[in-house]
Amino acid sequence: QVQLVESGGGLVQPGGSLRLSCAASGSIFSINAMGWYRQAPGKQRELVASIRSVGTINYADSVKGRFTISRDNAKNTVYLQMNSLKPEDTAVYYCHGDIYTLDGGVVKLRTLWGQGTQVTVSS
């Protein structure tokens, strides 16, 4: 069984920084892509940033220049460095992964989600 475990959320003042981490563990064959989504109260879940195995990176327009996604392939971990945080960045942040898992000798592509971590930007 493969799971994604997030850490690093919390309360920060406007203009501050936070770093989120998401580690994938279990019977991993390979990782196609990992990324971060967020969902604010009353709003739909939206893509924040993603990084593919070949290195392609995408950011939401609202976070470009402030957030940086990176990946440690050896640790199956993705990071989201968030700088110059704004109150509108307040949301639950979810790690997402498109991961090839090894299940009974069969390789399967699975879409997985972390449990979510709260990020609150407030003075």
pLDDT tens for the 123 residues of the chain, in order? 899 999 999 999 999 999 999 999 999 999 999 999 999 999 999 999 999 988 899 999 999 999 999 999 999 999 999 999 999 999 999 999 999 998 888 999 999 999 999 999 999
Report residue 65 as tokens.
């220049």
Report residue 93 as tokens.
């942040």
Chain center to CA of 86: 18
Q: Which residues of 53-75 are buried (b: 16+ CB within 10 A; e: fewer)?
A: eeeeeebeeebeeebebebeeee
